[in-house]
Structure 1
Amino acid sequence: MKIQELYDSRVTVVEEQKALNDLALAEKRDFTPEEQEKYDKMDANFVRITDEIKTAEAAEKRQLERTAEIEKREGLLKSHKAVAKTPPDGDTRDKKDKKDETRKAEYRDAFNAVLRNEMSMGEIRALQADSAVAGGFLVAPEDFIASLIKSLDNRVFIRGLATKYTVAKAESLGVPVLDNDPDDFDWTSEIKTGSEDSSMSFEKRDLFPHPLAKRIKISEKLVRVSLIPIDALVRERLSYKLGVTQEKAFFTGNGANKPLGIFTASASGISTDRDVSDGNTVSAITADNLINVKYSMESQYRMGCQWIFHRDLIKMIRKLKVPGTGDYIWKPGISADKSDTILDFPVNESEYAPNTLSTGKYVGILGDFSWYWIVDALSMQVKVLNELYAETAQIGYIGRLETDGMPVHEKAFARVTLA
């Protein structure tokens, strides 16, 4: 079934669920056992179709990326052949510093040879005098790191919404947290400069890329026979593992040698001043609360807002109606470029968003996530474990990447909190 057909089927299921829910609401009663069973079956069908849509869209995106990777590799091979036929003209030795070594085509080829277990660390040390190997870890080529970060952006949706910076190595950006906005501009004459402003103030938690490491295993046979270039294969596996770790940290990290999460109450990020519980009960979200959350934010921040919820909460929210109008506050996306919405804001689902229903717990957030800043260091390292998994005919890889993240302006966020 085509992706658009899946979207259409999903909308049909939603309308059937609405009709059943409307009947119970009109009669001011709960579902009968038979109605509950019917609704649950429809809900399971809704989840199944939603998962099929996500899988199909992800597969389509991966196929495009793999095709681009193969085309890129074919282009590089052609360029290598052209260079090989061109005689050297004088002293063509690269005199750039160490970081430029990782941009060379021969270094990239050697890196891939190491990943395929075809070259020893000693051989790659001999490739370059200043050595890109330290403690058994091999510095990844710059284009490998850039592609990995791009893959993470696609895999971890909050990265796609956030403001991202890259630094050559792990060093602080010294990013300030904006405490108060400046006052309004002054109307003045042409030669006047306006009054001095002292209202804008900053707190400071340095954005400093912290290291995280993940280990993956790939079968030796897959490494030998795969049509996908080895660096792309390793990068794809690493991006999944790193993506899960980063998404958890961007949500609930405590900021100590790791990112500061959006669901962590902190004066250096989002304080409890941005928690909204009005209208909620101790165990459930209400439509009134979500409306309160929306209007707790100033209009300039609402323009780019999106929701984040766990699927358990989305399931609950899908039954809620706007008081007075009777309109459902959740609306289904009807195509790939028109996502599901809650009160007209796009909604993102994450397994790592909180879903504990008890007093005072966070259960969702509305925010303009361009005010969540992420910094990545372009200094990734990879270690090949060519003997550890020999008994199972696998090759192990450890990837080390350095990153950090934090909210930099709490007024751009409002957390959904239970009473």
Structure 2
Amino acid sequence: MTEEVRTAPERKSAGDGGYETAQAFDEFMRSFEAFREANDARLDALERRAADVLAEEKVDRIDRALQEQKRALDRLTLKSRRPELGIEGRAPEASEHKAAFDAYIRHGEASGLKRLETKAMAAGTDADGGYLVPEETEREIGKRLAALSPIRAIASVRQVSSSVYRKPFLASGPAVGWVAETASRPQTASPTLVELQYPVMELYAMPAATAALLEDAAVDLDQWIAGEVDAAFAEQEGAAFVAGDGTNKPHGFLDYTTVAESAWAWEKIGYLLTGVSGAFAAADASDVLIDTIYALKAGYRQNAHWVMNRRTQAAIRKLKDGDGNYLWAPPATADGRATIMNFPVAEAEDMPDIGANALAIAFGDFGRGYLIVDRVGVRVLRDPYSQKPYVLFYTTKRVGGGVQDFDAIKLVKFGTA
């Protein structure tokens, strides 16, 4: 096995996306084999009490290359999945809304959009101004966000038309029991219902365009806007879904009250301890991960995911179980996810690093545990005045989020209490 690990090169050809993805996946798997070989040598040296600094550096170097190749592979996979705008239903040139929106974006001509939104019995502007983007563009932004935002990809997503979504949740059911055939039936206790509220908050991005770009008829401005705002939206969403405080942003699952799993109660999220401040236990490091898996009820484990950042994932990548098998396994396919103990990993960069008392790992069924609320409609306000000679496009969407089932998510705390 060669020790040289190449990072995945940038490829610009659009016609051979499948081939590019397959090549990138092959390179990724070769790098993983090199990583495993180097890490085995490092662990053997540690067991012989002959730690080799060069071996440590080699493992870290391969690990960094592995992470870079995985990101390149994810980009290629996302690119191959992107549909062309307008192919679902009607062609872009046949869409009246799209034509009116194009006129507004290129020339600032808003009469067509005003007429369409008046016909639809919708106000042409909201409190901040702007017009709704075409349905195809909104759908494309949603698809890209689902691919780029790790929590959105695994959580429940609901669309609403109001500013607050209220959801009743059965925290505890009615009391039940066994009785004889002719015995009296005692009155049972009433079920406990709680109302969860998810207000939607405004998220914005402001891409800028030059006059030359707007005058170029070959540029699909719908694609351009979707491409400009998706990364900005995904970055802000990702941070809020993980650690948002609920003030002008969604309520992240790490911002709720956390307690030791033995003291878990509704409206709190339980955690398990590694037993060492800022690290895994020196012996049987995988035990806390096993305990976390089985802290989750069986009904939640079927669709459970690990959530952590890439540095935490890199630390787990070096761990083995008692039989000498690595806990971390690479994805089986190019568009698959890496797994830890057979459960997929969602890589969220906004999760904290391993440190003293850090809640660096989450595990659970986020489809049942976390709810994202999207208000229908993405709006764009054209601003040719603030940053001349550039034209700014103030793009907004409204989104909220919060925990909906506090028993569906567990955390790993790197501490002793």
Read off the aligned partner of 1:132 and give its amino acid letter.
G
Displacement, 1:32? 0.5
Moved more, 257-266 or 296-305: 257-266
Tell me which residue corresponds to 1:378. 376
- 8 Å contact kept, 2:85–2:92: no
Tell me which residue corresponds to 1:93. none
Of 41, 56, 60 in structure 2, the residue corresponding to residue 40 of structure 1 is 60
- Secondary structure in structure 1 of the residue aligned to 2:63: helix
Tell me which residue corresponds to 2:211. 220
Tell me which residue corresponds to 1:5. 23
Read off the aligned partner of 2:35 and give its amino acid letter.
Q
- Secondary structure in structure 2 of the residue aligned to 1:307: strand
Query: What does the per-residue CA deviation read over 1:140-187, in whole Å, with 9 as the maximum and x for residues that have no partner?
Result: 0461434432332222132222222112232x3212355346667979
Query: What does the per-residue CA deviation read over 1:191-212, in whole Å, with 9 as the maximum and x for residues that have no partner?
Result: xxx9876475343331222222
Q: Point out where structure 2 has 5 or more consecutive residues left out of the alignment.
A: 1-18, 259-264
Q: 1:150 to 1:13 in 2, by over 3 A?
A: closer
- 8 Å contact kept, 1:169–1:379: no
Read off the aligned partner of 1:410 and give its amino acid letter.
F
Q: Write the distance in 1 (CA, Å) between the matches of 2:341 and 2:186.
A: 40
Read off the aligned partner of 1:249 and give its amino acid letter.
A
> Equivalent residues in 2 for 1:37-186 (5 A)?
37-62=57-82, 65=83, 68-69=84-85, 71=87, 75-77=91-93, 80=94, 105-119=95-109, 121=110, 125=114, 132-134=124-126, 137-141=129-133, 143=135, 144-170=137-163, 172-180=164-172
Displacement, 1:226? 6.0
Read off the aligned partner of 1:250 and give its amino acid letter.
F
- 8 Å contact kept, 2:296–2:408: yes
Read off the aligned partner of 2:37 and give its amino acid letter.
A
Q: Write the distance in 2 (CA, Å) between the matches of 1:299 and 1:291.
A: 14
TM-score, with structure 2 as normaliser: 0.80
- 8 Å contact kept, 2:133–2:379: no
- Secondary structure in structure 2 of the residue aligned to 1:205: strand
Q: Write the distance in 2 (CA, Å) between the matches of 1:50 and 1:123.
A: 45
- Secondary structure in structure 1 of the residue aligned to 2:353: coil
Q: Write the distance in 2 (CA, Å) between the matches of 1:112 and 1:187.
A: 70
Q: Write the distance in 2 (CA, Å) between the matches of 1:197 and 1:228.
A: 66
Report how many residues are paired.
380
Of 396, 406, 409 in structure 2, the residue corresponding to residue 410 of structure 1 is 406
Displacement, 1:390? 2.2
Match status 1:20 vs 2:11: no
Q: 1:123 to 1:71 in 2, by over 3 A?
A: closer
Tell me which residue corresponds to 1:346. 344
> Equivalent residues in 2 for 1:379-398 (5 A)?
379-391=377-389, 394-398=390-394
Query: What does the per-residue CA deviation read over 1:51-94, in whole Å, with 9 as the maximum and x for residues that have no partner?
Result: 221222122233xx2xx2164697253xx5xxxxxxxxxxxxxx
- 8 Å contact kept, 2:352–2:359: yes
Query: What does the per-residue CA deviation read over 1:332-379, in whole Å, with 9 as the maximum and x for residues that have no partner?
Result: 113124321001100111221111511x21101011111211111114
Tell me which residue corresponds to 1:297. 296
Q: 1:135 to 1:4 in 2, by over 3 A?
A: same
Displacement, 1:128? 6.5
- Secondary structure in structure 2 of the residue aligned to 1:281: coil
TM-score, with structure 1 as normaliser: 0.80
Query: What does the per-residue CA deviation read over 1:87-130, in whole Å, with 9 as the maximum and x for residues that have no partner?
Result: xxxxxxxxxxxxxxxxxx544422221111341x4675477767
Q: 1:196 to 1:406 in 2, by over 3 A?
A: farther
Read off the aligned partner of 1:45 and give its amino acid letter.
A
- 8 Å contact kept, 1:145–1:380: yes
Read off the aligned partner of 1:363 and give its amino acid letter.
A
Q: Point out where structure 1 has 5 or more consecutive residues left out of the alignment.
A: 81-104
- 8 Å contact kept, 2:307–2:362: yes
Cα RMSD, aligned residues only: 3.2
- Secondary structure in structure 2 of the residue aligned to 1:175: strand
Read off the aligned partner of 2:334 and give its amino acid letter.
A
- Secondary structure in structure 2 of the residue aligned to 1:308: strand
- 8 Å contact kept, 2:257–2:269: no
Displacement, 1:135? 5.3
Displacement, 1:400? 1.9
Displacement, 1:43? 1.7
Q: Write the distance in 2 (CA, Å) between the matches of 1:235 and 1:291.
A: 41
Q: 1:117 to 1:284 in 2, by over 3 A?
A: farther
- 8 Å contact kept, 1:270–1:407: no
